[in-house]
Every structure is written in C-alpha cells, then in structure tokens.
Amino acid sequence: MVHTDVSVELGRRVARAVGEALGLELDPEQAVIRPSRRAGVDYQTGVAMALAARLGRAAREVAEEIAAALDAADLVEPPEVSGKGFLNLVLRADWLAARASALPGEERLGVPLTEAPRRIALDYSSPNVAKEMHVGHLRSTVLGDAIGRLLRFAGHQVIPHNHIGDWGTPFGMLIEHLVDEGLTEAAGAGSIGDLNGFYQEARKKFDAEPEFASRARRRVVLLQGGHDQTLTWWRRLVEESAGHFEQVYRLLGIELTPADVYGESFYNPFLADLVKELGARRLTRVSGGAVCTFPEGFTNRDGDPLAVIVRKRGGGYGYAATDLAAARYWLEERGATDLLYVVGSPQAQHFALVFAVLREAGWLMAEHHAEHIGFGSVLGSDGRAVRTRAGGSVKLVDLLVEAVDRAAEIAEPRALPPGQQAAVARAVGIGAVKYADLAHDRRRDYLFDWDRMLAMDGNTAVYLQYANCRARSVLRAAGAAPAAGTPVLLTDPRERALLLRVLEFPAAVSAATRGHAPHKLCTHLYATARSFSAFYAACPILAAGAPELRASRLLLAALASRVLTLGLSLLGIETPEKI
C-alpha cells in the first residue's frame, strides 16, 4: 500500500533500492527525500553521497546503482542522476492525477496518525499572579498552543498545564498592600483594575518602608502556615489575575482553560516530602546552609559542581524544587510519558539540571522523555525588548486590541455585513500577531513590526487568509466543490505546481510536529498560497471552457483551500470567508 505522504513512500522505495544495490540496511528517513528547487524535478535525495563516503566509492556511481535498483515505476518517471550524485525524481502525471482525485475524500489530507501515541504533559504560558501578561508572554503562549494542536492532530494525548506563579514571598507584600488599600472585602475579579500598578505600589512600599516590609514577611509565614483569612485574601488575588489571563486567552483563541491551571501553590504540599526523599536517596547535601543536589556532569566556569537548591537556608524552597515536584506529579500521578516545557531559551541550563536530578532520583526513566522547548525574544525595531514609550512592558491585552483595530482598516467595510466586520478584524489582527511569531524559527529572536505582519503580500497570515478567501469565493460561485473521484487534468505547469504543494502538506505537518517547529508548517502554507495565487491568475476556473477542465480546476482550488484552512487551524489561526 502506498503511503499517503509521498516523501515517506519515496524514502521507503529508495531504502529498499539501497539494500538491493549495495547490500546496506537503510532507514527510510535516512534517504532524506526533499522537494527539489530544480526546475522539472519534484524530489531529490543526496543519499548516494553519504553512502559513497562510507563505501569509499564515487558518489555518481553509487547513485546510478541505486537508480537502477529503484522499484518505483508506478510513482515516478525513470530516475536521473545529476551533479556529484543527486538522485532526481519526477512524479508520474497519471499518479499525480489519481492521487489528487482521491484526496477530497480524505479528511486529514493524507496526514497519517502516529503509530505510537504518547501521553504528553505540556507546560506553557505560565504567567505570574498579580501581574498582567505582557508581550514577553506571547511566545510561550502562542507556541505552546500551536505545538499542542499539532501533537493532538498527530494522535497524541496532550494534557496542557499552566504553571502560574501564585506562591512565594511576593504575596506577603501583595496581601498587606491589599489590606492597606481597604480592598480585602471587595477584592475579586476586576476590583483592583491595574494589576501592574498594584504590584509596583506594593514593591515600592516594601523597599521604602521597613514597617511594611516586616508586616509583609510575617504575612508570608501566615500564608505558608495555612492561616484561613490570609488564604482567603490570597485566593482573591489569584482570582483577580485569572480574569486578566482569561481575557488574553480569549482574544488569542488559546486552548487553555481555568481547569488547566496548576500553579506553584498546587505543588507546595509535595515539597517537604520531595526533599526528604532526595535525601534518603543520598542525592542531597547542605551547602551554605541550603539543601542542594549536585547532578553529575554539571560544573561552573571554575570546574566546581553546579548546585540545584531544593531548600533555601531560611527554610523556603527553591523554584527547582517546585519543578521537580511538578515533574514527579505528572509522571507518577498522571501517567505522562513525555514532559514538554515551552519556556524561554535562557532557562535551558535550569531544565537540563532538573532533568538530570529527575533521572538520578529514578523518577524520569528510560521510557520517559523530557524536553525543554526553548525560544528567543520578541524585539522592537531598535533590536531591544518591546517597550511602551514610557519604557515599561507592553501589556499583551493592549497589543492584541491594537492588532484588531489595525486589522479593521484592512477589511473593506462595503464588502462585509456590519455584523461580520468585527469578527473578520479579530481573525485578521490576532492571526497576524500569532503567525508573525510562529513563522519564525522559535530558537531565534524576531522583530515585532506592525507593517510587516499586516502586509497583504509576503509570508503573513493575512496573505494566506486572503488566498483562502479567493479559493472559497470561487467554490461559492460554483455552488459546490467537486467530489472525490473527479478526474484531474494537468494542462498547465501551475496546476502541477499547486498539486505538488498539496501533496507535500503531510510532510510539512510531520516536520513541524516532530521538531516542535511550527515555522516549518508556516513555510509550506506560504508556498501553497503562492502556488494557488499563480494558478488563480493564469488558469481560468469558472470560465475554463470544457466542463472536465472546470471541474478539475475547481477540485484543485478546493484542495488548496483545505490545506490552508487545516494548516492555519493547526496554528490556532482563523480563516474568515471574506476579507
């Protein structure tokens, strides 16, 4: 049976040819079948060059032997060898047409489900209580949501958890400030208003007024000791923040709910036992009055072992202890096989240390997988962190509202009923912000640029959305999309180019999912939109003349729309009917 991902199928065939021609066992993935940039060539592999180095032979000679042994006449034209030893593959026109004709009946457009589903605990967003989310939270939230969608679509069970900062010493000063401001009775969703201002006022008093600082420290002791009234006021602060978080998540269309919140306070009851158990396993020792563990293989610049503080000198717990407790909870209590953390790249060493301690303690075993999915920063036009004119952090909700307002200027009011204008502006504006983030390699910083992200051309969400609107417009005018089995006629190179993009969709989704790399899917969707635009401009669809050609081109337009719609939905981006 031919695999629905043509690159996977070609990889299998090439691997078998390597075995027959050279007597070598090759994993199909090692065949590295890639779409070719060379005109007249669909796919290319340089596997012969890699094998030639192992065999001590000329690469072209090896490539010619693989080509001769390749059993793929049902899929490709006779293969050719070029350059130093590249194997060039061109898909047969009749196979392409038959595959395209069958695709309308495939809900997943050829994207296979995983054969080995995992139970994945996905940690992302993780804002702090009593502070409004700012632009620095954008990447974790948007990336985490897209990664979760991709993993679910692949067939994995994903359990999102929002590890909010809702515990610790800052809450002493926040609760005391709440008392001083007379908000203890009224405190609740919306009663504080400016959370950032509230936090800054509390911090200013803490730093400037010894009496207030003393009260704040006593309040921390009461909080950690379970004092009823203090806990009530603490819960109100958490509820106040939750309202702000929910507002941002609703605007962004993020799949996090209050049920997904597992704050630091949730893990607090586990910390004492965790430290005891690490000690019982002889993994801790006291250093400078703090209880630390020193995982093997980690040293500082001077060559001294790196410490992971699990209990501070004063008796409090380090945030590494909370992360260890959280990981243990998800592995042992919730049965997770994988732990994924979508957190900024500066935390790479922290997570490497945490994972090492988990392994040494026997909690993270061979059958488990733990990974830090790091990312770079969002920068302003000056190459520095995005700031307000006053120099403060940009509130994420303000940025999103501005995105919707700017997008409203793109949509043509006369083309949309009044009731749809707001929905389209939201889809375009929020989509622009999310796509601008996701289209960049997550490991790198990127510049936040309103004009670029809302441009109607280039690799932007609105360009993809507009191309999709064009395709849907044609289908609406036709009355219906062609059904599976409609014959496909490839009479123009742009028809073939578009169909190739459609058939490459499974490989793009797979690459984005495996590498937690949404930008790879973005790159493919942009290529698909460009191919559709070229096809739309050069190949009449409704006015194609012959009914068979009209139906064929309608089917291609429908497939392009389905790729764009499904692909953008996997990124958490809406696709309006009109713009």
Give CA–CA dist 388/530, Å, rounded: 36
Residue 548: per-residue pLDDT: 95
Asked whether residue 189 carries a pLDDT value surpassing 50, the answer given is no
What is the arrangement of strands in the sheet containing 43-45, beginning at the earlier edge strand? 34-35, 43-45, 86-89, 80-82
Q: What pLDDT sits at residue 388?
A: 63
Alpha helix segments (H runs only) across 253-340: 264-267, 271-280, 319-328
Q: Tell me the domain boundaries of the chain.
A: 6-91, 170-256
CA-CA-CA-CA torsion sign (530, 519, 444, 430)? positive
Q: Percentage of the chain with pLDDT > 90? A: 78
Overall residue count recorded for the chain in this entry: 579
Name the least confident of 106-110, 215-219, 220-224, 352-356: 220-224
Q: What's the whole-number mean pLDDT along residues 525-530?
A: 99
Q: Is residue 464 within 8 Å of residue 529, measured between CB atoms?
A: yes
With a CB cutoff of 8 Å and minimum separation 6, the contacts of 426 are 251, 404, 407, 574
> Using CB atoms within 10 A of its CB, is residue 155 exposed (0-12), middle (13-18) or buried (19+)?
middle
Q: Among 225, 219, 127, which Cα is nearest to 170's? A: 219
Indicate the pTM of the whole model.
0.93
| H-helix or E-strand spanning residue 403 | helix 396-408
pLDDT band for position 37 (cuts 50, 70, 90)? confident
What is the C-alpha separation between 128 and 263, in angstroms, rounded? 9
Higher-confidence residue: 555 or 579? 555
Q: In terms of DSSP H, where are the helices of 109-194?
A: 138-154, 170-180
| CA–CA separation, 498 and 533 (whole Å) | 9
Contact in structure between 4 and 99 (CB atoms under 8 Å): no
pLDDT of residue 137: 93
Scan for tokens 């303690």, then name that residue. 361
Cα 383 to Cα 52: distance, rounded to the nearest angstrom: 45
pLDDT at 412: 66
Q: Which helix (H) or strand (E) holds 203?
A: helix 195-208
3-state secondary structure of 36: coil
Using DSSP's 3-state secondary structure scheme, residue 573 falls into coil
Cα–Cα nearest to 194, from 392, 48, 31, 3: 392
Among residues of the chain, what percentage have pLDDT more than 70? 97
Taking residues 369-387, report their average pLDDT.
90
Residue 568 pLDDT greater than 90, yes or no? yes
Taking CA atoms, 435 is separated from 264, 440, 523, in Å, by 31, 9, 11
For residue 525 the two structure tokens come to: 């969707």
Tell me what the mean pLDDT of segment 548-575 comes to.
Answer: 98
Q: What is the pLDDT of residue 361?
A: 97
Higher pLDDT, 412 or 200: 200
Do the beta carbons of residue 42 and residue 34 sit within 8 Å?
A: no
Q: What is the pLDDT of residue 1?
A: 59
Joined together, the tokens standing for residue 439 give: 């289209």
Q: For 251-279, what is each residue's pLDDT tens digit?
A: 999 989 999 999 999 999 999 999 999 99
Q: Is the pLDDT of residue 186 over 70?
A: no
**CATH fold for domain 6-91:** Gyrase A; domain 2 (3.30.1360)
pLDDT of residue 381: 81
Q: What is the pLDDT of residues 297-342, one digit of tens each?
A: 999 999 999 999 999 887 888 889 999 999 999 999 999 999 999 9
In whole angstroms, give the CA distance from residue 129 to residue 192.
13
Q: Assign residue 487 a region: left if phi > 0, alpha if psi is -120 to 50, beta otherwise?
A: beta
Mean pLDDT of 73-92: 96
Centre a 10 Å sphere on the Cβ of residue 18 and count the other Cβ atoms it contains: 24
Residues 227-251, mean pLDDT to the nearest whole number = 91
